[in-house]
Structure 1
Amino acid sequence: MLVDEGRDVLGRAECLELMRSVRLGRVVFTWRALPAVWPTAFVLDGRSVVFRVAAGSPVEAALRDETVVAFQTDAIEPGGERGWSVTTVGRVRAVRDPAETARLDALFPPRSPDAASERYLRLDCDRLTGTRFSASPRATATPAPLAP
C-alpha cells in the first residue's frame, strides 16, 4: 500500500523481520513532563523488544512497569537513497525471572564489570507500524535555486 509518494506501508511480518536485522533503536518516553529519546541496544525476543537499563538510573525511574513508551528503529540503505522505519508502542515490563534474565544475557553482548546492576525491560510489539521510504526526489522535480 502506498502512503504517499516514495513511502510504502510495511506489514507486521516485514516490520519484525527488519527489526531483527538491526541492534540499535530508540526508546521514546516522558521524563519530567517532557518527551525524551534514549538510544539503546536491543534484541527482538519473539515479538517483544528487550533492552537493558542501569538500575537506579533516571531512565529506569522513568520506565516503571506498565509505562507506555514507543520504540523506534530504522536503517538507511548504502548510498542513502532508500530506508525504512519501524515503530512500536506499548507498555514496558521489567524482567524479574532469573532464568529469563540468564537466557537474555546470552542474546546480548557481555555486560561490563561495572554494569552488574543493569536489568532488562521488555516491550511487547502489540502496536507495530512501519514504512519503507525513498529519499530520491521525483525525476520531474526542479531544485530551488540557492539564495544569493
Structure 2
Amino acid sequence: MIRNDVPTRRSVDLDRVEALRLLAGVPLGRVVFTRQALPTVRPVNHVLDGGDIVIRTHEGAALTSQAQQAGGAGVVVAYEADAIDPDTHLGWSVVVTGYARLVTDPEELARIRGLLEPWAPQQGTDHAVRIRPDLVTGVLLTEAGGPAARSG
C-alpha cells in the first residue's frame, strides 16, 4: 500500500568522478577488510590525495599489520562513506574497492601527517594507508523528480 503523504524516492547511480567528489567532501568513513577470515569494519577519517583515499593508522591496528604483511601487493579493502539525512532518508552513499598499501616513504608520510589528523589520536598513530580506488560505485537517494547526479 502506497501512502500519499510519503514522498516517492528514487536512487540514481553516480559516476566515478561524482562519487569521489562527494567522498572528498566528508571527513569520516568506514574501512572494511578481512580479519581472521571474517569481515571487519572500522570507522576512520580520511583525505583524498592524488585520487587515492588516505587514512592514518597505528602500529597495533589490524589493517596496519595486514598491509605490512602484504608488502607492495597490498591488501584488498572496501571503503564506504555517506551523507544520509536520518529524517528524510535522502542523501548519498559511495563504496570504493581497491588495494590498501602502507605508506613507507618518510617524506610522503610526513606530508600525510600534515594533511590528516587522526580522529581518535592514540600513541603510535604514525602510520598511513593509501587505498587506490579500483572500483568506485555510488548512489544518490533523492525524491522522485528531484535532482539527478551531477557529472564532474
Q: TM-score, normalised by structure 1?
A: 0.78
Corresponding position: 1:24 with 2:28: yes
Per the alignment, in what secondary structure is the counterpart of residue 88 of structure 2? coil
Corresponding position: 1:93 with 2:101: yes
- Partners of 2:64 and 2:26 lie apart in 1 by 23
Identify which of structures 1 and 2 has the higher relative contact order when contacts are C-alpha pairs closer than 8 Å and 6+ apart. Answer: 2
The corresponding residue for 1:43 is 47
Deviation at 1:17, TM superposition (A): 0.8
AA aligned opposite 2:54: V
Deviation at 1:12, TM superposition (A): 1.1
- Partners of 2:29 and 2:91 lie apart in 1 by 15
- Do the aligned partners of residues 27 and 110 (structure 1) sit closer, same or farther apart at CA in structure 2, a change above 3 Å counting? closer
Per the alignment, in what secondary structure is the counterpart of residue 48 of structure 2? strand
Q: Is the 8 A contact 2:44 2:119 kept in 1?
A: no
Per the alignment, in what secondary structure is the counterpart of residue 115 of structure 1? coil
Corresponding position: 1:108 with 2:116: yes
- Partners of 2:120 and 2:43 lie apart in 1 by 18
- Partners of 1:68 and 1:123 lie apart in 2 by 9
Q: Deviation above 3 Å: which 4+ runs of structure 1?
A: 62-65, 77-81, 110-114
Q: Is the 8 A contact 2:30 2:42 kept in 1?
A: yes
Q: CA RMSD in A?
A: 2.4
Q: Is the 8 A contact 2:45 2:119 kept in 1?
A: no
2:84 to 73, 76, 86: 76
AA aligned opposite 1:26: R
- Do the aligned partners of residues 105 and 111 (structure 1) sit closer, same or farther apart at CA in structure 2, a change above 3 Å counting? farther
Q: TM-score, normalised by structure 2?
A: 0.76
Give CA-to-partner distance per residue, 1:25-64, whole Å, 9 cap, x none: 1111111111111110111112100001111333322444
Q: Is the 8 A contact 2:52 2:132 kept in 1?
A: yes
- Do the aligned partners of residues 83 and 57 (structure 1) sit closer, same or farther apart at CA in structure 2, a change above 3 Å counting? same
- Partners of 1:43 and 1:53 lie apart in 2 by 13
Per the alignment, in what secondary structure is the counterpart of residue 14 of structure 1? helix
